[in-house]
Amino acid sequence: MSANRRVVITQNFFDEVSLDFLRANGCAAEIVKLSAGQTEATLDVAAIKDVVGDAAGWIVGHARITREVLEALPQLQVVSRRGVGYERVDIEAARDLGRVVTIAAGGNDATVADQVIGMMIAVGRRFREAHAQMQAGPWKILLGTDLYRRTVGIIGLGRIGRSLVQRLRGFEADILVATPNPDGDYAAQTGVRFVDLETIWRESDYISVHAPLTPATRHMINTDTIAKMKPGAIIINTARGGLVSDADLLAALSAGHLGGAGLDVFESESDPSMKSVTDALLALPNVVAAPHAGASTREGLDRTNMIAAECVVAVLDGKKPADACVVVDGR
C-alpha cells in the first residue's frame, strides 16, 4: 500500500458518497475549488503544480496533461479521468514516466445515450422553435418529423453507441452502424446493419457521431459529406468538437440543406478562434445545444465519480483497476 494517499479532485459535482469511499480507503481526499474564471482546461503547468502538488492521485476532467505536467508532478501515481475520453493526456509520456491513466468506463454511456435521444426528438419535433414561436405569438403549429421508424446512422459502436442502439430499438428505427469492427453476432441480436460511411451519408434521416477524435476522424462531417446527406437530415454530435467542421455545418444549416443539429460539443472548446462560429450556430432556431454536458446528470456523475475513485484506490493499493478503465499502466 502506498504511503502517500493524498488525492486531489478538480472536478465539480463530486458527490459525498464517492468522497467518503476514498476516505474510508485511507485516502486524504480533497476537492479543489478553482479561482473565479479558471477551469481545468485553462490551467497551465505552474497552476497545475500549485493545485496538485505532491498528490499521489488526481481525479480530473479536462485539464491538458502533458509530459511537462507529469514531470512537474513526480509524486503523482494515477491520473483518473472522470470521463471516457483521454485525448488531453499524453499517454506516451505517462507510460515513460511510470504513471497510470484510467477512465470511468461504463459510468456515463446510458446518460449520454439518453441525451442523444433527447436531442433527436427536440430537433426533429422543433421544440426550440415552437417554444419561441409560442412566446412571440400568435400560436402556430410547426410540423416536425418522427424518430419512429426513421433511419438512424451511428458512427462508432463503443459503449455509448451500443446504449443508443438499445434505445433506438424502442422506436423501431432502421439502425445503420459504421465501425471498423463490425460484429455479426451483435447484428443478428439487435437487427442493426453494418454499412460504410457512404451509406450512412446517403440513407440516414438522423446521424449521431460516436467516434474518437483522431487525425483520421477530424472534420469527418464536412461540406463534401454533408452534400451527400438527405435534404432535411439531422446531425447529432455529443462526442468531440472537431469531428464535425462547425463552419461547414453552419453553412449547410444556413442554406437550409439540413433539418437541424443537436450539439453538445464544439470546436471552440479547444480553439477560441472558433467562438464566432459557435455563437452563430447557437443563434439558429433549428440547433439544440448544451455546454458539453452530456454526461452531467446527478446519476451519471455519481457513477463516474465512484468509478474514478475506485481506480485511484486500486492503484494506490498496488492493484490493477478494472481492465476497461485502464488506458495505460506504466508501473
DSSP string covering 280-301: HHHHSTTEEE-SS-TT-SHHHH
Residue 257 annotated as catalytic? no
* Three cell numbers, residue 241: 468538437
Of the residues 88, 125, 219, 269, only one is catalytic, namely 269
- Residue 17 has φ and ψ, to the nearest 5°, of -65, -45
| CB contact set of 311 (below 8 Å; sequence gap of 6+) | 78, 80, 100, 102, 104, 321, 322, 325
Residue 129 annotated as catalytic? no
Count CA atoms within 13 Å of residue 217 on its CB side: 17
* Three cell numbers, residue 157: 459502436
Of the residues 210, 292, 303, 310, only one is catalytic, namely 292
Alpha-carbon distance of 30 to 57, in angstroms, equals 11
| CB contact set of 55 (below 8 Å; sequence gap of 6+) | 4, 6, 7, 8, 73, 75, 76
Given a contact cutoff of 8 angstroms between Cβ atoms, the answer to whether 104 and 307 are in contact is yes
- Beta bridge pairs of residue 206: 152, 234
Given a contact cutoff of 8 angstroms between Cβ atoms, the answer to whether 206 and 152 are in contact is yes
Cis peptide leading into residue 272 (ω within 30°) = no
Q: E strands within the chain? A: 6-9, 28-31, 57-60, 78-81, 100-102, 151-155, 174-178, 193-194, 206-209, 234-237, 260-263, 287-289, 326-329
Given a contact cutoff of 8 angstroms between Cβ atoms, the answer to whether 193 and 176 are in contact is yes
Residue 62 annotated as catalytic? no
Locus of grid cell 435521444: 117
Of the residues 6, 240, 267, 310, only one is catalytic, namely 240
* Three cell numbers, residue 311: 481506480
Given a contact cutoff of 8 angstroms between Cβ atoms, the answer to whether 244 and 237 are in contact is yes
Residues marked active site are found at 240, 269, 292
